[in-house]
Amino acid sequence: MAKTKSVYVCQECGAEAAKWIGRCPACGAWNSYVEQVIHKEPASKQAGYISHESSPSKPVRIESVEMTHEERIDTKSDEFNRVLGGGLVPGSLVLIGGEPGIGKSTLALQVALSMADKRILYVSGEESVKQLKLRSDRLDKPSSDCFVVSETSLEQIFVHIRNIEPEVVIIDSIQTISTEWAESSPGSITQVRECAAALLRFAKESTIPVLLIGHITKEGTIAGPKVLEHIVDTVLQFEGDQHYMYRILRANKNRFGSTSELGIFEMQHNGLREVSNPSELLLSQHHEGLSGVAIAGAIEGIRPFLIEVQALVSTAAYGTPQRSATGFDVRRMNMLLAVLEKRAGFRLAQKDVFLNIAGGLKVNDPAIDLALMAAVLSSNLDIAIEKGICMAGEVGLSGEIRPVTRLEQRIMEAEKLGFHQILIPDFHPKRGERRLTNIQITSVRKVEDAFRVLFGQ
């Protein structure tokens, strides 16, 4: 007869206790413990994928392991392949997380419909089959060998897998899947952990890649236990603002590739469109003659692109000046304003300063410091920066322009987009090994030197 065990599990961090506790000692959350009854079944009857291999694994010497080159599975999406590191690895478990309505299901279904040469099983626990059909008609993708089913039982999902024998499995989402082995509601700590572990065993033993879509908490982290992120091979974060059209896919964890890559998509009425050259979309074509606009050469991951930095400086009407930034760290902006006042001699203490990164992006690259200060000074003096000039440089507390990484990539991106001059730090490495370019490269040592080039002051 099966043994039962009753435990109390924190729904915030997954900590277990033998009795109910008001406050979790692990994460400090109040009233987060919920009773869960767990059946201790034999290993052969536990939830998940039942392997047909009867022979147990044996330890072998690492030198005797035979390596075979496995071709990655092409998802027919260059941006998605870029983030994965070249495509789906057979037997991998990939987790995609993001805000509600950001486009996770659209991305997964679009990838499934694009892989016309693969047999794909799309399991949805949130939408019916008719809703999936409506979404696929809106995406207007070519017909493919894609099977869809609305199912929330893990045991039934494995039945469908054995019947269809797919080459790729997509689960939307892991929080809606439950197993009969754990007596708790779908989305709980136990259900998410057990279902993910069963899907991991299935992926590794069958070499069929599995894509999981996961919910996130209000703090922006993947919902469920942290062990979910440890189990999977790749954790992808799909982010962006619902009020803007751009979406960014980045890898927080990747066992088969780099975590520095990112993919950029544009949300349209017929699905997500890949943005191969984001610089052209992020630059406004109507800012000529307007003050407070500067172009910065930024690096996101290992990908260079030019962004537009906008600033507005006005006299404080209510006594206390306001400092506001969209897409940039406010504390760093305040530091740069202090450097601008102390080292360059421009008085901004009694003026409001508003900063915006065009396109709804959030940028952490310190190389946009110089462009930010130039945009603020341009708005303060009401003098427009000449068209065709961009800049890349980190600003130190003493007003010096510090070197930045991947400078050659930034210069090549600016040259490709038709800019005729770029301001870079004077202390950049490998100064004598730069290739010949058609863009004028101006080296500046301090912020005063950059302002003289831009404004003649």
Q: Which residues contact 150 (CB under 8 A, 6 or more apart)?
A: 123, 124, 125, 127, 128, 129, 132
Nearest partner of 34 among 187, 216, 256, judged by Cα: 187
Report how many helices (DSSP H) and strands (DSSP E) the chain contains, helices first.
Answer: 11, 22
Please give the Cα distance from 304 to 414 (Å, whole number). 9
Tell whether 257 is in a known binding site.
Answer: no
Beta strand extents in 76-208 (DSSP E only): 93-98, 120-124, 146-150, 168-172, 182-183
Tell whether 253 is in a known binding site.
Answer: no
- Terminal-to-terminal C-alpha distance of the chain: 87
Place of tokens 């039945």: 159
Tell whether 101 is in a known binding site.
Answer: yes
Q: Which residues contact 259 (CB under 8 A, 6 or more apart)?
A: 250, 251, 252, 253
Contact 423, 392 (CB under 8 A): yes
Structure tokens at 235: 């954790």
Q: Is 396 exposed, middle or buried (0-12, 13-18, 19+ CB in 10 A)?
A: middle
Nearest partner of 158 among 113, 187, 213, 195, judged by Cα: 195
Tell whether 98 is in a known binding site.
Answer: yes
Place of tokens 């066992």: 255
SS3 call for 137: helix
Taking CA atoms, 73 is separated from 126, 219, 226, in Å, by: 27, 33, 28
Tell whether 105 is in a known binding site.
Answer: yes
Taking CA atoms, 18 is separated from 7, 8, 9, 28, 356, in Å, by: 5, 6, 9, 17, 51
Tell whether 104 is in a known binding site.
Answer: yes
Tell whether 396 is in a known binding site.
Answer: no
Angle between helices 189-206 and 154-164 (to 10 degrees): 20
Please give the Cα distance from 382 to 313 (Å, whole number). 9
Please give the Cα distance from 351 to 354 (Å, whole number). 10
| Other beta carbons less than 10 A from residue 44's beta carbon | 6
Tell whether 178 is in a known binding site.
Answer: no
Structure tokens at 324: 């506001």
SS3 call for 110: helix
Could you list the residues known to form a binding site for ATP, using ranges: 98-105
Could you list the residues known to form a binding site, using ranges: 98-105
